[in-house]
Amino acid sequence: MSHGNMNLTLKVWKQKNKDTKGRFETYQAKGISPDMSFLEMFDVVNEQLINEGKEPIAFDHDCREGICGMCSMYINGRPHGPKQGITTCQLHMRSFKDGDTIVVEPWRSAAFPVIKDLAVDRSSFDRIIAAGGFVSVNTGNAKDANNILINKDDADEAFNAAACIGCGACVAACKNSSAMLFVSAKVSQLALLPQGQIEKQDRVLNMVKQMDEEGFGNCTNTGACEAECPKAISLENIARMNREYSLATFAQNKIK
């Protein structure tokens, strides 16, 4: 059963680009249905702003189904808002009460410069993935792939790591702006599978090097990343990546 519509006050971060100073602007969101998603609420507010000849709020979105990671924003001090295990586009307005004030900000990290308002540039993540390179094993067609037996636990862990959508909530939640949960998920999903073995040492060394070059901070194991990850990616991936990194560094030094 749906309750009546809500009137809300929004304090939204407005910033022209990464080189200008930003500030909070206050907007009234009126007649909002509790069944709307957070992004649909923004659509309504933007329509209103356009009708009044004002500039709409810039925010990122694409699939609106919780699988692309683009809708990332800080809502009342939490990445993706007050609910666990969901992205911003999956957050419904019934999570708020009539008369609430909602503070909305972009991700705050030097490695995610603001494009405009709530939209940030997350291409640093793309560059980290690119640094990981390719898998050179020819996996053939489906029949061949089934000939490579993979332990059930490893397959499950690889699938869980592969659920990462690269939204950046882990970086936003971390007091150090560390990208370790993201990078370790991407390293793990390949390190756990036989097809990922040939390049595994280069992959982890190159991805970590790129992560450091992008300006992400260090991991101090506070666990905020796992708590705020919409896909509940486990901290165990970080431990796995640290092991992979140590082994790769050791192997490289031995070769020298």
Reading the block at residue 23, the tokens are 């500030």
136/127 Cα distance (integer angstroms)? 19
Average pLDDT over residues 5-9: 97
At 105-164, the pLDDT tens digits run 999 999 999 999 999 999 999 999 999 887 766 666 666 666 667 788 888 888 888 999
Asked which of 67, 89, 116 is the last residue of a domain, the reply is 116
Given this model, what pLDDT does residue 164 score? Answer: 94
Evaluate whether 153 touches 214 at the Cβ level (below 8 Å).
no
* pLDDT over 50 at 206, yes or no: yes
Mean pLDDT for the chain overall: 91
Evaluate whether 171 touches 228 at the Cβ level (below 8 Å).
no
| 102 in the same domain as 126 | no
Given this model, what pLDDT does residue 76 score? Answer: 97
* Residue 108 CB partners (closer than 8 Å, separation 6+): 74, 172, 177
In a domain, 206, yes or no: yes
CATH of the domain at 100: 3.10.20.30
CATH of the domain at 251: 1.10.1060.10
At 233-248, the pLDDT tens digits run 999 999 989 998 998 8
Query: How, if at all, do strands 74-75 and 23-32 pair?
Result: unpaired
Given this model, what pLDDT does residue 6 score? Answer: 96
| 10 in the same domain as 96 | yes
- What's the whole-model pTM score? 0.90
Given this model, what pLDDT does residue 138 score? Answer: 67
216/236 Cα distance (integer angstroms)? 20
Pick the more confident residue, 254 or 73: 73
C-alpha torsion sign, points 208, 213, 214, 219: positive
Q: Tell me what percent of the residues of the chain surpass a pLDDT of 70.
A: 91
Pick the more confident residue, 132 or 30: 30
Average pLDDT over residues 17-23: 96
At 221-234, the pLDDT tens digits run 999 999 999 999 99
| 128 in the same domain as 65 | no
| 179 in the same domain as 55 | no
In a domain, 183, yes or no: yes
152/135 Cα distance (integer angstroms)? 21
| 166 in the same domain as 52 | no
In a domain, 36, yes or no: yes
| 128 in the same domain as 104 | no
Given this model, what pLDDT does residue 29 score? Answer: 96
In a domain, 1, yes or no: no
Given this model, what pLDDT does residue 255 score? Answer: 63
Given this model, what pLDDT does residue 1 score? Answer: 43
90/230 Cα distance (integer angstroms)? 10
User: By C-alpha distance, which of 114, 110, 97 is closest to 5?
Assistant: 97
| 54 in the same domain as 104 | yes
| 206 in the same domain as 94 | no
Asked which of 62, 90, 116 is the last residue of a domain, the reply is 116
87/222 Cα distance (integer angstroms)? 21
181/217 Cα distance (integer angstroms)? 12
Q: 30 is in which domain, residue-wise?
A: 6-116
At 163-205, the pLDDT tens digits run 999 999 999 999 999 999 999 999 888 777 766 776 778 889 9
| 76 in the same domain as 39 | yes
Given this model, what pLDDT does residue 133 score? Answer: 80
Reading the block at residue 5, the tokens are 């519509």
| 141 in the same domain as 247 | yes
| 166 in the same domain as 104 | no
Asked which of 70, 86, 116 is the last residue of a domain, the reply is 116
| 83 in the same domain as 190 | no
Domain count for the chain: 2
